[in-house]
């Protein structure tokens, strides 16, 4: 497959995906933790509401968990996430001087933080060019397109790094998430209007 042509078409379809939305590290971390199994159009309004009330690790660590729950109640598993948000804030204060780490291994030590979350923080908050975030959309589409043959997002991350030129790593999550939400959907993908249907070995018409 012509990777450059594939990415050119995606950039053309989603020009906003050409630039990473730089976010403050603490907001990037907490909002990504909140996003697990929750749509972006639900996650980010809830995150904005939360950060209007508590905007720093200090404020979040001192907050009552019940108030955090109330502020983020629209997101999935909000009670579990509220506890994690408070615990993450405490750990940042006690172990990292209130700063979000900018290394994968350190981020993975935080509760509720997996490789996808860590990579999103590294890409969106620290503009790390070696960060490649793989969620269910990226995993599914990469396999449908035949870019990789993998069984889980962790393996997909490894294999995509072997397939995609490094210059694309920081953008691929944004592009494929949008593509997966609007065109290459989990159920009833819109193959008839897909700009990649002449490149895809798994046309589902």
Closest Cα to residue 62, out of 81, 78, 85?
A: 85
Closest Cα to residue 88, out of 104, 70, 109?
A: 109
* pLDDT score for 36: 87
How far apart are alpha carbons 180 and 137 in whole angstroms?
A: 5
* pLDDT score for 205: 42
How far apart are alpha carbons 180 and 124 in whole angstroms?
A: 20
* pLDDT score for 21: 61
The answer to whether 138 and 119 have CB atoms below 8 angstroms apart is no
Which tokens hold the place of 19?
């630039």
pLDDT 10s digits, 125-160 = 998 989 999 988 899 999 999 999 999 999 999 999
- Which candidate in 135, 151, 155, 167 is catalytic? 135
Closest Cα to residue 142, out of 21, 1, 38?
A: 1
Closest Cα to residue 35, out of 77, 87, 98, 83?
A: 77
- The pTM of this model reads 0.85
pLDDT band at 20 (very low <50, low <70, confident <90, very high): low
135 labelled catalytic:
yes
In the chain, the domains with their CATH numbers are 3-18+132-193 (1.10.1670.10), 25-124 (1.10.340.30)
2-9: list long-range contacts, CB under 8 Å, 24+ apart.
2/199, 3/163, 3/164, 3/165, 3/168, 4/165, 5/199, 6/145, 6/196, 6/199, 7/168, 7/171, 7/172, 7/175, 9/195, 9/196
pLDDT 10s digits, 39-69 = 878 998 999 999 999 999 999 999 999 999 9
- Which candidate in 116, 151, 161, 198 is catalytic? 116
* pLDDT score for 204: 46
Q: Does the structure show a pLDDT above 90 at 117? A: yes
116 labelled catalytic:
yes
Helix, coil or strand: residue 56: coil
Tokens 């508590």 belong to: 54
pLDDT band at 28 (very low <50, low <70, confident <90, very high): very high
The per-residue pLDDT of the chain, averaged, comes to 92
């Amino acid at each position: 497959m012509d990777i450059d042509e594939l990415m050119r078409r995606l950039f053309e379809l989603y020009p906003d995906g050409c630039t990473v939305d730089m976010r403050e590290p603490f907001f990037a971390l907490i909002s990504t933790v909140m996003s697990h199994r929750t749509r972006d159009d639900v996650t980010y309004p809830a995150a904005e509401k939360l950060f209007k009330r508590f905007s720093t690790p200090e404020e979040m660590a001192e907050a009552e968990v019940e108030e955090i729950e109330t502020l983020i109640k629209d997101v999935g598993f909000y009670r579990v996430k509220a506890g994690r948000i408070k615990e993450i804030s405490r750990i940042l204060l006690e172990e990292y001087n209130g700063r979000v780490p900018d290394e994968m291994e350190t981020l993975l030590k935080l509760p509720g933080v997996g490789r996808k979350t860590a990579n999103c923080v590294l890409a969106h908050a620290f503009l790390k060019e070696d960060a490649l975030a793989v969620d269910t959309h990226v995993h599914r589409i990469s396999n449908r397109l035949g870019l990789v043959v993998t069984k889980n997002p962790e393996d997909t991350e490894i294999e995509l790094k072997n397939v995609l030129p490094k210059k694309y790593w920081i953008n691929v999550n944004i592009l494929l998430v949008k593509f997966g939400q609007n065109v290459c959907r989990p159920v009833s993908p819109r193959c008839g209007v897909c700009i990649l249907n002449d490149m895809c070995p798994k046309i589902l018409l």
